[in-house]
Each structure stands twice: as C-alpha cells, then as structure tokens.
Amino acid sequence: MKTIINIALFIVISVGGFSQETASFKTKQLKNKRVKDAYATKWAGLESELKAKKINPSALEVFIRIFKKEKELELWVKNKSDKQYVFLKKIAICASSGELGPKRKEGDYQVPEGIYDIPSFNPNSSYFLALQVGYPNKSDRILKSGTRAGGDIMIHGNCVTIGCIPLQDGPVKDVYMLCVEAKNNKSEPRVEIYPCKFTTENIKYLNTNFNADNNKFWNNLKPAYTYFEENKVPTKYSVNTKGEYVFSN
C-alpha cells in the first residue's frame, strides 16, 4: 500500500511538466524576471555564437579567465565530449578597485587572485545579475592576513565595485546565461583570476613594481596560466598546508 501511495504522489507532482526530480536549474532560473528577459533579448544571438564554434548548448562547459591589469574577462567554451576549450569572446571589466595582488583580508578592497568555482547565482542582485566567485578558497583561508578573509565577491552588472568584477549589464547577461547553461548540464564553471597576462613584459613589470610576497604568490599561480595557454585545458590542482597551489597533469 505504501508503495502505491508513493507512486501516486510522484504522478501528481509530475503532472503539468517538470517533477520535483526533473525541474532543471535553468527552469528555476527562468522564473526570475531578469533571467527571463536576458534569454528573451540575447539568447538567440549567443546561441548563434556558440554554434559558430560548433558548441552544443545542451553539452556546454564554461571556463572563465580574468585579468586585472588588462581589465578583461575571457569566456572559453567546449562541449562535454571535447578535450580542449575554444575562445568565445572577451568582455571589458568596466570598473576596478584595489591594486594588483591577491585579496588577503576583509575590507582591503582587493579583487581576489587564484582559482575558484561559482557556488551561487543571484538573479535579484542589487547589481543586476550576479555570479558569486568562490572566495575564499582553501589557499585564501590559509594565507589571509586579517582575522577574516572576507567574501561576497561577485561577477556582476551595474558597473560599480568594491572588490568585485563589474561588467556592463548587457555583457553580464551573456556570462550569466552561459553559466546557467553549464550548470544545467551538471558542469561547474571554473574561474581563474590573474594579476595580468604572464607575458615577458608583464613579468618584468611585476618583478619591478611589487614586493617579494606578491611575486612569490604569482610565481606559484603562473603554472595554471601557462598550462592553459599551451593546452587549452585547465590544469588539475590541489592546495597544500602552506596555502600553495600544487599542479598535476
């Protein structure tokens, strides 16, 4: 009898479309006005950009790189079955705070540097649409200099910031939708934030203008940048007890 009741309840819940088990992340996001508007006004164009790169939205994975000195956000995409990511587009970061160097405490106005996930999506942010950057990560918690590392770092719209990554509202729709699609495909977008592109000229600039602690951290982070440049695949990594990234491929 208990089994029959449970089956009946499942049938009732499922009537009218999505069941509690099958309601997708995207379906839930589309209940929000800003997300619904983003898809209505920009998805067709974004879908065409993906198809031009031979990317199927239903198999989409997303990788984001952010460069503070250049004030650029790069979007990279691939199908789940593909090995390598392909470059989709570059978006201007329209405001900034702090200076080059990692975030080490709450209230320092710094944009973090390191390797992060996107733990939450906020379609009702005071800054339009917002994607949370997973700061502090394990490295940040170990290396923090204050009592608290801080948090609530976002990629968001509205082009204002105190330690976040602000974009214009139009471009942030693209970033948000791509991450929704990836999340809907059970893929977790990865975000890597760097002080700059590690060119020969920029490395000289960092060595000349910043302290030894910053340069030690950047030398530790640089292999992730280099590996992706060479392979178009994010490197595997862990964090040791000193807060250092340890890379393995």
Please name which of 176, 179, 102 lies closest in space to residue 143, comparing C-alpha atoms: 102
Token pair belonging to 81:
């079955």
| Locus of tokens 């089994």 | 3
> What are the catalytic residues?
156, 164
Question: CA 189: distance to chain centroid?
Answer: 6
**Cβ(146)–Cβ(106) under 8 Å?**
yes
